[in-house]
Structure 1
Amino acid sequence: MKQVISAIPLIALTLMRSTSAIHLPESWTNQLPDSFSLKANDNELKPFEYHQCPVDMPLSCTNNTEIGDSCCFEYPGGVLLQTQFWDYYPPVGPDDMFTLHGLWPDLCNGQFEQFCDDSMNIESAETILKDFGEEDLLKKMKLFWKNYNGNDESLWIHEFNKHGTCMNTIKSHCYDQSTYKKNQNVVDFYKKTVELFEDLPTYKWLSENGIVASQTQTYTRKQIEDTLSARFGQPVFVKCNNYVELKMSRNRN
């Protein structure tokens, strides 16, 4: 049974990574051609064939460069957010883990675009993952990517249709068209979201420092901030309103 942490009903962790031209994650770029694979006498970038992605693009949440190939970075939403929840009412997910809510690109002003491309919408996530043989990934999603109403797949579908369709780096034309399979970008969206979640084991970080859910024990904001900052590698900010939101921001390729 999940306990309340410091008598607070919900903890939402907003994990931010500034990106400017955010470099494509390795698992997303493995289908893209060599960045410098233009033919000797070609002066034009051929759609679907070549993507020139500089390896030294500056990190920021705006595109002030002259890089025109949007397959190379997230734009206009140059900050990636991942949100985790401590769901105790109703209690869903493992007792020793936060649950995963989603991943999306934010604009520099804190807002975000949504439902950007109806042509990318999906009606089933589980079928797609099974078609690609991603049974292990699906098992992980069923464990910690939870919907409070009990229908987990509806949340997965909603998150892709709402946010995944706004990620230009996983548009189908960004892949090598000779090997791309329909919905491969959907799989990559789920795979990268889970990878980032596993890279940020928030509950483990807190519990290893003696901070665990309790109906009697309370913790100071400084205790939580210091613990997470030490493990995250960057300052963490705890914002209190109707619930607790922990913001952790890190510039990272």
Structure 2
Amino acid sequence: MKMINSSIIAIKFLMLVTLAKICVSQDFDFFYFVQQWPGSSCDTKQGCCFPQTGRPASNFTIHGLWPNYNHGSFPSNCKSVENAFEESKMSDIIPRAEASWAALSCPSKKKTNSTNSDNMKLWKHEWEKHGTCSYSVLDQHAYFDFTLNLKDHIDLLQILLNKGIKPDGDKYSVEKIREAIKEATGFEAGIRCNTDASGNSQLNEIVLCVDKSAASESFIECPILPDANCPEDVEFPIFGVSQFIDTA
């Protein structure tokens, strides 16, 4: 009898430890809201693939909404039975997500013969790696709806165009890009770069910070910006048939 009671106590203790770990993993300080320029994702050695819905619009697309800690690290993969990804919870926001949160990564040739990227696979990955860690604040539907609302709330491309910074393949000052965003939003942005097939640095991601409460589509000053990996001047690559090029 004592052995049975000891086993029950041990099981309960393990359950409490597991629950504590889940609660800790879902405790975070702020969100990174990350948008990426599709031209920079495609203009690499790896290239890109478009979803079955076709080429995304010539605009920034969402990469993700990522819980972060003030000291620079972040929680991830806080999965549990309660917050498992369910495709059915995406049904009413799929059209918005397809327009603003498009997958660009090419599928593995070993796993599929498709040449299209997979939006649902991207959304599942973003929820499982990042969204689950915000489950105490946002359930799956709210996570995607809130992120899409953030995208609607700020038009990064128009902000840059207003300052003469356009996706025409030319080089632009990273400092000028930051200044344009700060003037429009009131907050400092993180600028991330990648390299094209020729090794040239190009504007890839723009990161803004959002309060952990997700109470509104308002941004905050970043407690810590992502590591800068850009030179002083970067290319802003063309994506698709660009109406932003001055042909005069």
TM-score under structure 1 normalisation? Answer: 0.55
Question: Does the CA-based 8 Å contact 1:96-1:204 persist in structure 2?
Answer: no
- The unaligned stretches of length 5 or more in structure 2 are 1-22, 43-47, 107-116, 196-201, 210-218, 222-248
Say if 2:157 is the partner of 1:203. Answer: yes
Q: Which residue number corresponds to residue 83 of structure 1? A: 34
Q: What pairs with 1:117-156 in structure 2 (closer than 5 Å)?
A: 117-125=79-87, 127-130=88-91, 134=92, 137-148=93-104, 149=106, 150-156=117-123
Q: Which residue number corresponds to residue 19 of structure 1? A: none
Question: Does the CA-based 8 Å contact 1:129-1:138 persist in structure 2?
Answer: yes
Q: What pairs with 1:41-60 in structure 2 (closer than 5 Å)?
A: none
Match of 1:164 among 101, 126, 131: 131
- Structure (1 or 2) with the larger CA radius of gyration: 2
CA distances 1:2-45 after superposition (whole Å, capped 9, x unpaired): xxxxxxxxxxxxxxxxxxxxxxxxxxxxxxxxxxxxxxxxxxxx
Q: Which residue number corresponds to residue 96 of structure 1? A: 58
The aligned amino acid for 1:195 is N
Q: Secondary structure in 2 aligned to 1:187?
A: helix
Cα distance in 1 for residues equivalent to 2:150 and 2:156: 12
Say if 2:176 is the partner of 1:223. Answer: yes
Residue 248 to residue 156, structure 1, CA distance change in 2 (3 Å): closer
The alpha-carbon deviation at position 91 of structure 1 amounts to 7.0
Matched residue count: 160
The alpha-carbon deviation at position 86 of structure 1 amounts to 0.7
Match of 2:167 among 198, 201, 213: 213
Over the matched positions of the two proteins, sequence identity in percent amounts to: 22
The alpha-carbon deviation at position 197 of structure 1 amounts to 1.7
The alpha-carbon deviation at position 121 of structure 1 amounts to 4.6
Q: Secondary structure in 2 aligned to 1:219?
A: strand
Structure ranking higher on relative contact order (CA contacts 8 Å, 6+ apart):
1
The alpha-carbon deviation at position 144 of structure 1 amounts to 1.9
Q: Secondary structure in 2 aligned to 1:102?
A: strand
The alpha-carbon deviation at position 146 of structure 1 amounts to 1.2
The aligned amino acid for 2:132 is T
The alpha-carbon deviation at position 147 of structure 1 amounts to 1.1
Q: Which residue number corresponds to residue 73 of structure 2? A: 111
- The unaligned stretches of length 5 or more in structure 1 are 1-70, 172-184
Say if 2:150 is the partner of 1:235. Answer: no
Residue 122 to residue 239, structure 1, CA distance change in 2 (3 Å): closer
The alpha-carbon deviation at position 237 of structure 1 amounts to 4.8
